[in-house]
Amino acid sequence: MSKFIIEGGHPLNGTIKPSGNKNEALPALFACLLTEEPVTLKNVPRIQDVLTSCEILRQLGAKVEWLDEETLLIEAKNLDYKKPDPELCAHIRASILLLGPLLARFKKVELPLPGGDIIGARRIDSHLDSFIDLGAEIELTNIINAKLRAFCAGEIFLDEPSVTATENILLFSAISSGTTTLHNAACEPHVAGLCRMLNNMGAKITGIGTNQLTIEGVSGLKKASHRISSDFMEIGSFLCLASITQGQIEITDVNIKDLRFVLKTLKKVGIKPEIKEKSLIVSDQQELITEGDATGRVATIYTGPWPAFPTDLLSVSIVAATQSKGTLVFHEKMFESRLFFTDKLMAMGANIVLCDPHRVVVTGPAKLKKTNMSSPDVRAGMALLMAALVASGTSEIHNIYQIDRGYYQIEKKLESLGAKIKRAKA
């Protein structure tokens, strides 16, 4: 295991480019199972979750080759039907996305239950109910055992706008007969990216970017090349980081359309970057002051399904709020364990009140001090790394495997901005 050693208090300056979107890359990898022809994926983040997914594909018999640092060639011509490796699947939540393509291709699948971050109860009912409606028989024990009786195209209504359930139905229905209409679908940018990739491969999906998707099944998919979009979660993390490190940072390769509500919400924390066509600049002259509501009362930042503020950006925005003048309430509506990392911020000197599993009150600015801590999950790990960069003294973060799962070579990106950070053996 490795750890980060961070000397805090140094201004960060320069230009930083986000990696490809992890949440688009993972379903894109599994989409390659739908064709025997080669598929090229560009701008792929070489993070741990991607490497684990590549290993699962290899274990299933696919050819997986890195053409360069960010380009993958995948050919799933000679797949062998077998149960995916339970140990590999236990490391990533996205392993649930094997259900759709394997069931479409082999008409049966035995799939270990997915792993991933421990941030609360993470239901898979939306997946299972939808596949049953589409003609599958499913038995759930310590594994998911699914068999396809006959594909039943029709109307599917998700009981929640689940990203992975939406993606699973897309992957399954793309090469099935008939037309499936998916209601209450997730419409995040990475879901739209998967739809565009599948259409490039010959699928027929309409309604992209909305909560109603129509999938007209085709007999098979073909080779294609697809570029993964920039990770707007990483961009949001960099915006929060830039705002508290007293330097000037330009974030490039930005799709402003994907960030409209994120930018609107971060204004409440006091983060107001200069917006250019494809970049965002956080000035070293910017003073962080929280914004109240119209009557001057304390504002609340809520998370929710897209286009609401993403839950994955809540942790980093809380750290930014510890350095902003004023008080904010953060309400995490989706996961009951997302906020439990805040005890580590309190130990560093942050003025935070954990009201209940879903709400915290943050008052800033607070002078943070060094500490030794462990990363509980991907997003909390990045938040703790941010806190260490502004704290006085030298901090250590252990279990950085969690950070590596979502952020590619983050220490090198931060070093390029002037951060004092190094990776060492724990």
Confidence of residue 191 (pLDDT cuts 50, 70, 90): very high
Residues 11 and 56 in one domain: no
Instruction: State which residues form the domain around 199.
Output: 22-227
Residue 120 confidence (pLDDT) = 43
Number of domains making up the chain: 2
91: CATH: 3.65.10.10
Q: Are 72 and 64 in contact (CB under 8 A)?
A: yes
Peptide bond into 38 cis (omega under 30): no
Supply the angle between the helices 99-106 and 22-31 in degrees, to the nearest 10.
Answer: 10
Q: Are 392 and 9 in contact (CB under 8 A)?
A: yes
Q: Are 161 and 130 in contact (CB under 8 A)?
A: no
Distance (Å, whole) CA 133 – CA 107 = 15
Three-class DSSP category at 48: helix
Q: What is the mean pLDDT of residues 166-191?
A: 95
Residues 398 and 387 in one domain: yes
pLDDT at 118 over 70: no
Active site residue 117: yes
Residues 257 and 377 in one domain: yes
Distance (Å, whole) CA 22 – CA 411 = 18
Strand partners, 352: 362
With a pLDDT cut of 90, the percent of the chain lying above it is 82
Confidence of residue 122 (pLDDT cuts 50, 70, 90): low
Q: Which residue has the tokens 């996305």?
A: 97
Distance (Å, whole) CA 74 – CA 71 = 10
Q: What is the mean pLDDT of residues 104-110?
A: 91
pLDDT at 252 over 80: yes
pLDDT at 81 over 80: no
Residues 223 and 273 in one domain: no
Residues 105 and 47 in one domain: yes
Between residues 119 and 276, which one has the greater pLDDT?
A: 276
Burial class (CB in 10 A: 0-12, 13-18, 19+), 382: buried
Residues 178 and 281 in one domain: no
Peptide bond into 307 cis (omega under 30): yes
Kindly report, residue by residue over 264-321, the tens digit of the pLDDT: 999 999 999 999 989 999 999 889 999 998 888 999 999 999 999 999 999 999 999 9
Last-in-domain residue among 162, 196, 227: 227
Distance (Å, whole) CA 18 – CA 241 = 13
Taking alpha carbons only, the member of 312, 327, 189, 322 closest to residue 257 is 189
Between residues 269 and 121, which one has the greater pLDDT?
A: 269
Last-in-domain residue among 208, 227, 246: 227
Taking alpha carbons only, the member of 18, 159, 161, 22 closest to residue 94 is 22
Residues 185 and 294 in one domain: no
With a pLDDT cut of 70, the percent of the chain lying above it is 98
Residue 117 confidence (pLDDT) = 47
Strand partners, 373: 397
pLDDT at 116 over 70: no
Q: Are 226 and 192 in contact (CB under 8 A)?
A: no
Residues 14 and 37 in one domain: no
Residues 26 and 14 in one domain: no
Residues 138 and 285 in one domain: no
Q: Are 289 and 223 in contact (CB under 8 A)?
A: no
Q: What is the model's pTM?
A: 0.92
Residues 282 and 391 in one domain: yes
Residues 120 and 221 in one domain: yes
Give the chain's count of helices (H) and strands (E).
14, 23
pLDDT at 121 over 50: no
Residue 348 confidence (pLDDT) = 97
- The one catalytic residue among 49, 117, 258, 377: 117
Query: Which distant-in-sequence residues (6+ apart) come within 8 Å of 327 by Cβ?
Result: 290, 298, 361, 362, 363, 364
Kindly report, residue by residue over 319-356, the tens digit of the pLDDT: 999 999 999 999 998 878 889 999 999 999 999 999 99
Last-in-domain residue among 227, 260, 287: 227
